A and B are shown apart, each in its own frame.
Chain A
């Protein structure tokens, strides 16, 4: 387990025993992770557990006192029509952008895996938004979709159509948020799929070609099964990221009109800072943690199982 493998070096037996004893005495070396543990406990774990406690109170966020109200905030959460609208949006952002990022990420990877001349520049440009702040990316797309002087409306008017208020339209703006999130992070999925594709040996394809398999058959029976580990990573990663969406929503619609495009993150932020409803905000936070945990685990288990089958 620790120390030198004594079977390999029988002649230093006594020395090994001595050093093993020494190792066992200081075996955990816990002081080395103490600083890291302290920071994580103080700034993540303790607040999280405290959040659980606050979700059972009616705290307003600044008073020194508050009352325990049992499961009242949870009952309120279940009855609140806003909750379910917001959860619906969050699921759309999470699942919608996950599917789109994976489909387009895979297609891009397949394209860039060919020996075409422009692939280096395409890869760079598609990856570029990944390193830009999601807030700024949201503003950049705002200039495109804005009702007043947005680039989209400039184009529509030039072509003789009516201007549209894309960001103010509650059934359209959610899809714009999904689109912007996908546009920004499809590069990560693309890179992971590209690495997966490059690790598949050419022999499989050559054998399949000799057997007369079509390109689609090769994709279905060779590429897809061997890409399963990459698919798992991308799915889990994107779903967790998408369910936490905050910056892009703030930049594009600020959750509006009303609560129409609010995500759970932005909704919580408003409950706490604008409505001084800290107890309820904490309860919404717990619901968010539960949803992320369940969907993240579900995706992980589902795709891991596919990996084994493949």
Chain B
């Protein structure tokens, strides 16, 4: 019996290892590609005999990645801050005050979640041009905030309802604290776990956003990483080594963060997906 169990375990371990290796194949190919010079036509499966980091330096310069990094960081940071601030502030009355108006507004926020963002694209583009926000960080920030606010409000409202005891707020109320004071001094600090999830979800999605960015950030100085990368790929379709180096640099920060904060990432993203 014990022997059989051990055999089964070994078998399952081998399967898990095969899956892991399979998952690593594209990343392995990406790395070997990025290390080869453009006159090296050897198979992508083998490492170059002498490898240089020249592709990385060239790609960084030609794709203007430094600038793209700054843009991505700015947009992601401010969008996440606004999401957390507006989202938690909005969720509080929607979770606590069940008036007819609030019930309607809550349903409205939830209903908006089913609108595919691209459906609104054509008129949104017109609106952005009309109010003069084309090629600005502002439009990217506001678009992303609008896109993820419903989910953020949903998560905050659920958390407030299920885990923050009402008695705390009532005690503060009786002590004469204002609503806004109660919210920021008593409720907001207790929302830390869900704030962490919101932060991770919004950072991953906004950092990786391409659909919005490609429409509204077309000038070089405002391009985010994904837009810069797609432009670079278009120009260098024949020089895969260079593009591979650029791709590695573009994903490295998120991958490193993920490996360090793995538990939080998996928990945060899972709680975000439970919106169905």
Q: Give the docked Cα–Cα distance between A112 and B15 (Å).
A: 11
Among the listed A126, A136, A158, A289, which residue makes an inter-chain contact with B229, where contact means beta carbons less than 8 Å apart? Answer: A136
Which secondary structure characterizes the binding site on chain A? helix
Q: Which of B16-24, B50-58, B59-67, B189-197 contacts A (4 or more CB under 8 A)?
A: B16-24
Min CB distance, A128 to chain B, in Å?
A: 7
The reply to whether B87 and A36 form a contact with Cβ atoms under 8 Å apart is: yes
The reply to whether B122 and A51 form a contact with Cβ atoms under 8 Å apart is: yes
- B12: interface (CB < 8 Å): yes
The reply to whether A288 and B119 form a contact with Cβ atoms under 8 Å apart is: yes
The reply to whether B122 and A278 form a contact with Cβ atoms under 8 Å apart is: yes
- A28: interface (CB < 8 Å): yes
Counting chain B residues whose Cβ lies within 8 A of the other chain, the interface size class is 35 or more
Among the listed A28, A43, A133, A288, which residue makes an inter-chain contact with B210, where contact means beta carbons less than 8 Å apart? Answer: A133
The reply to whether A151 and B29 form a contact with Cβ atoms under 8 Å apart is: yes
9 chain-A/chain-B pairs, Cβ below 8 angstroms: A28-B99, A29-B179, A33-B93, A111-B12, A126-B19, A133-B250, A136-B208, A140-B247, A154-B43
Interface residues of A (CB under 8 A from B): 1-4, 15, 19, 22-23, 26-30, 32-33, 35-37, 39-40, 42-48, 50-51, 53-54, 61, 108, 111-112, 114-119, 121-136, 139-141, 143-144, 146, 148-151, 154-155, 158, 183, 188, 191-192, 195, 232-233, 236-237, 240, 243-244, 246-247, 250-251, 265, 268-269, 272, 278, 281-282, 285-286, 288-289, 292-293, 296, 300
Interface residues of B (CB under 8 A from A): 9, 12-13, 15-17, 19-20, 23-27, 29-30, 33, 41, 43-45, 86-87, 89-90, 92-94, 96-99, 101-102, 105, 108-109, 112, 114-127, 142-143, 145-147, 149-150, 153, 170, 173-174, 179-180, 183, 204, 207-208, 210-211, 225-226, 229-230, 233, 238, 240, 243-244, 247, 250-251, 254-255, 258-259, 262, 265-266, 269-270, 273-276
